[in-house]
């Protein structure tokens, strides 16, 4: 079949790639030239072209001549010329629901889906570790593999991973759920719902919640953090709940380098050497594994040796006597947990630009940081999405810091911020990074940070 895929954005690229893999003739069209896309997207588009997809980029008036079916993302305005053209022509329209069903039919194993505002990447990683310890051959897709998880899932299907595993464990951010809204999920898990990404939902928390709750509808068994009880219970009274220090289906209790989990009249204690939010996420992962049938002995073995995951409270080494920690926390609650953990340390904090695809409250970040006696806060003004320097964003954050003990510095980008931490620190200090860019584009962001750390450690030796 001859398909036209409208737009080369996050929803359309995975659709075009899978349709091409299934043997259809695919043209992907966009108003923008390829050079207008970020370098990583350009790379993906060129890869798709190499696989046989026709790129029709920079075309202001695409044609439906010879086209039998069309995919258009839900974000396409009705006023767009191509949207009007689609209505005029007698062509099949591939909806997200139909596309999701195609994807579902190509995955022959049970799927575990994990969503939430915070902790979904960490929980997906830990859950994967538990199942691997139990001997499962796991196909795991998360933002650690690809920031756009839907692309990671389609890439796995194209490369045969879906047919070479015992179980699939997917992190499902709200964008991926929006595209893949008709999967058969064996166990779904919700870590939490906080106020973030609301700029993508017209400022409506209710719309954001409803997007997350698509997972509940798709799931045979559903597990949620107890903080979500009031949202979940009206929809589903058979849901299971987990939490720290609450009388729920899966209760976690933190000890001295240990974690105890109580469930269904049983309990176990495992050595545990991680920090902060890893405790609750490990309870979530254990809840999924136990529900699926993984033995507690395998969970204990896996958690006993768990060392964390990249850029989540990650110790990347000692530079000139300073311990450097990279953390991808960027929401209020997550940042507070991290800052509380280091509250008794001498800290130099560097922050990236807090707006990605979502516009966030920079002043709220500054107000939170004001509660801690941090030595210096260095804020980057470079917006990775727009590829523009927006110093007003860095200054908005810094202006909200009212603690007179904190020195405030605004710089042009995260690489400079990382380098400048050595100027304002001394041996024995903690250099701490926080912000959303690692979650948005982990590989590029970490590469820039590490380059800055290397330069700064030499410059201010």
Residues 6+ apart with CB under 8 A from 403: 369, 370, 371, 372, 373, 374
Give the model's pLDDT for residue 132.
96
Give the up-direction half-sphere exposure of residue 205: CA atoms within 13 A in the CB hemisphere: 7
Distances (CA, A) of 28 to 45, 94, 284, 319, 323: 9, 14, 40, 47, 47
Average pLDDT over every residue of 331-340: 83
Give the model's pLDDT for residue 250.
98
Please tell me the distance from the alpha carbon of residue 253 to that of residue 96, in angstroms, as a whole number.
41
Whether 312 and 325 have beta carbons less than 8 Å apart is answered as no
Whether 369 and 401 have beta carbons less than 8 Å apart is answered as yes
The neighbouring-strand residues paired with 240 are: 223
- pLDDT band with cut points at 50, 70 and 90 for residue 128: very high
Examine the pLDDT at 358 and tell me if it is beyond 90.
no
Q: For tokens 């897709």, name the residue.
A: 141
- pLDDT band with cut points at 50, 70 and 90 for residue 245: confident
pLDDT tens digits, residue range 279-289? 999 999 999 99
Strand arrangement, sheet containing 185-190:
138-141, 167-171, 110-115, 185-190, 219-225, 240-244, 250-255, 258-263, 266-271
Average pLDDT over every residue of 44-67: 94
Diameter over CA atoms, the chain: 70
Give the model's pLDDT for residue 197.
54
- List, in order of start, the domains of the chain with CATH numbers: 2-94 (3.40.50.720), 100-304 (3.40.1190.10), 314-459 (3.90.190.20)
According to DSSP, the β-strands at 54-57 and 407-411 are unpaired
Chain mean pLDDT for the chain: 91
Examine the pLDDT at 58 and tell me if it is beyond 80.
yes
Please tell me the distance from the alpha carbon of residue 340 to that of residue 74, in angstroms, as a whole number.
41
Residues 6+ apart with CB under 8 A from 71: 3, 4, 5, 6, 12, 15, 16, 19, 93, 94, 99
Whether 222 and 236 have beta carbons less than 8 Å apart is answered as yes
DSSP 245-304: SSSSSEEEEEETTEEEEEETTEEEEEE----TTHHHHHHHHHHHHHHHT--HHHHHHHHH
How much is the pTM? Answer: 0.77
Give the model's pLDDT for residue 195.
64
Handedness of CA 384, 390, 393, 398 (dihedral sign): positive
Angle between helices 391-399 and 362-369 (to 10 degrees): 40
pLDDT tens digits, residue range 6-38? 999 889 999 999 999 999 999 999 999 999 988
Give the model's pLDDT for residue 402.
96
Give the model's pLDDT for residue 273.
78
Examine the pLDDT at 255 and tell me if it is beyond 80.
yes
Examine the pLDDT at 168 and tell me if it is beyond 90.
yes
Please tell me the distance from the alpha carbon of residue 440 to that of residue 430, in angstroms, as a whole number.
24
Angle between helices 12-21 and 96-105 (to 10 degrees): 50
Q: Coil, strand, or helix at residue 235?
A: coil
Local structure of residue 331 (DSSP, 8 states)? S
pLDDT tens digits, residue range 421-445? 999 999 999 999 998 887 677 778 8
């Amino acid at each position: 079949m001859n398909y036209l895929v409208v737009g080369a954005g996050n929803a359309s690229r995975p659709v075009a790639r899978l349709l091409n893999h299934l043997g259809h003739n695919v043209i992907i069209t966009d108003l923008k030239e390829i050079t207008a896309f970020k370098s990583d997207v350009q790379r993906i588009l060129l890869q798709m072209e190499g696989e046989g997809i026709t790129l029709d980029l920079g075309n202001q008036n695409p044609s439906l001549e010879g086209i039998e079916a069309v995919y258009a993302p839900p974000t396409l305005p009705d006023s767009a010329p191509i949207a009007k053209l689609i209505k005029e022509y007698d062509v099949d329209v591939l909806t997200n629901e139909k596309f999701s069903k195609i994807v579902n039919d190509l995955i022959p194993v049970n799927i575990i889906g994990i969503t939430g505002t915070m902790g979904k990447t960490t929980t997906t990683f830990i859950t994967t570790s538990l199942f691997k310890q139990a001997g499962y051959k796991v196909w795991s897709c998360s933002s650690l593999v690809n920031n756009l998880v839907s692309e990671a899932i389609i890439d796995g299907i194209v490369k045969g991973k879906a047919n070479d595993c015992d179980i699939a464990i997917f992190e499902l951010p709200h964008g991926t759920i929006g595209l893949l809204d008709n999967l058969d999920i064996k166990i779904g898990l919700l870590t939490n719902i906080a106020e973030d990404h609301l700029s993508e939902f017209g400022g409506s928390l209710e719309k954001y919640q409803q997007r997350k709750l698509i997972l509940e509808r798709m799931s045979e068994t559903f597990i949620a953090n107890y903080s979500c009880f009031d949202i979940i219970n009206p929809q589903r009274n058979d849901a299971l709940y987990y939490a720290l220090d609450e009388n729920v289906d899966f209760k976690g209790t933190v000890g001295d380098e240990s974690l105890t989990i109580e469930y269904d009249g049983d309990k176990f204690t495992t050595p545990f050497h991680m920090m902060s939010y890893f405790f609750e996420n490990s309870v979530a992962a254990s809840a999924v594994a136990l529900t699926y049938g993984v033995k507690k002995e395998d969970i204990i073995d896996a958690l006993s040796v768990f060392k964390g995951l990249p850029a989540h409270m990650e110790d990347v080494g000692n530079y000139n006597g300073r311990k450097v920690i990279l953390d991808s926390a960027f929401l209020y609650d997550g940042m507070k947990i991290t800052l509380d953990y280091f509250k008794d340390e001498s800290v130099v904090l560097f922050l990236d630009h807090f707006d990605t695809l979502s516009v966030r409250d920079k002043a709220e970040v500054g107000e939170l940081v004001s509660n801690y006696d941090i030595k210096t806060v260095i804020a980057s003004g470079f917006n990775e999405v727009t590829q523009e320097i927006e110093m007003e964003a860095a200054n908005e954050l810094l202006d909200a810091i009212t603690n007179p003990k904190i020195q405030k510095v605004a710089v042009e980008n995260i690489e400079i911020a990382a380098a400048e931490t050595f100027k304002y620190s001394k041996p024995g200090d903690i250099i701490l990074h926080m912000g959303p860019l690692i979650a948005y584009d982990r590989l590029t962001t970490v590469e820039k940070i590490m380059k800055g750390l290397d330069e700064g450690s030499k410059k201010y030796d």
